[in-house]
Structure 1
């Protein structure tokens, strides 16, 4: 694994331990061929945004498969439909954030990626408000942490 990954994940986990766990951060880049050739924190920002986009897409697929179950109640179905929309929007936010980052427009990148981070929180809240247990809690937590990585790494690039 590239030293830049270890060093950057270490720094991120030390700087923001409530949001970024070292083991999770390292796992985001393990097995990613692009990550192996990363030489800078900026490379890792782009890779983590791409990974977040892929995760938003897979969340959409997971939610669709849950919606296909006939046993889902109407309130849970409504929550899942909301979550599906939220993750679709998150994917768009992340794509715009990635383009902004590539263009060195860090302000826009920050706004777009932060907006994507709202998806898992709002998704969870929808279930809680209805007194339901979310079937997506683990995935929502992972997505939140995943989208936090490019935000924290971007701050390092800007210094």
Structure 2
């Protein structure tokens, strides 16, 4: 039989765990509410789904969420770079598409470096540096799409560029609150 003196410490630990878990979930919830309120193009549900790509987001504080967002979009930039390489290889010598693809490849490669710098800035408390790097990375999709528009060519990266842009907006919004 368990004595009351043994139950009390166990109950206290359980209560503390529940409070910490609730607080972390509240941070994610509050952050996504703030993001969707500040940017009408970013729905609350989209924000939550975005962060659910990383298990650590459920227990992260705001700074942790900013780092997580930056890492998620870094992975997206790497993935887009791979897609660009695949498209370039499949298009052969078609100069009308090879030029913009080469530009996009360079933009997303630079975005990876900028996102690495942004994550380091957030982690070290240099939030202005992080915002500068996030903003530079966030320009990649628009500049990429512009190259295709100027040549009157349909962009094979339109979906990736649109998604990357939205995800950068989340990272910028979260980092801007630090």
Cα RMSD over matched residues?
1.6
The answer as to 2:28 corresponding to 1:14 is: no
Number of paired residues?
A: 155
Q: Which runs of 5+ in 2 are unaligned?
A: 1-23
Alpha carbons 2:47, 2:170 under 8 Å: kept: yes
**Regions of 4+ moved over 4 Å:** none
Query: Deviation string for 1:16-58 (max 9, x for gaps)?
Result: 214x2323211211142211222x1111101000001111100
The answer to whether 1:93 aligns with 2:114 is yes
* Corresponding residue for residue 32 of structure 1: 54
**Residue matched to 2:154:** 133
**1:146 Cα deviation (Å)?**
0.8
Candidates 144, 148, 158, aligned match of 2:165: 144
Cα distance in structure 2, aligned partners of 1:12 and 1:145: 11
Higher Cα Rg, which structure? 2
Q: How does 1:64-143 map to 2 (within 5 A)?
A: 64-70=85-91, 73-143=94-164
Q: Give the deviation of 1:109 after TM superposition.
A: 0.7
Aligned to 2:10: none
Report the Cα distance in structure 1 between the residues aligned to 2:135 and 2:38, rounded to whole angstroms. 18
What does residue 57 of structure 1 align with? 78
Q: Which stretches in structure 1 are left out of the alignment for 5+ residues?
A: none
Question: Hey, what does 1:156 align to over in structure 2?
Answer: 177
Conserved 8 A contact 2:31-2:62? yes
Between the aligned partners of 1:156 and 1:99, the Cα distance in structure 2 is 17
Report if aligned partners of 2:117, 2:133 keep a CA contact under 8 Å in 1: yes
Higher relative contact order (CA 8 A, sep 6+): 1
Shift of 1:71: 5.6
Aligned to 2:165, the other structure's residue is in SS state: helix
| Structure-2-length-normalised TM-score | 0.82
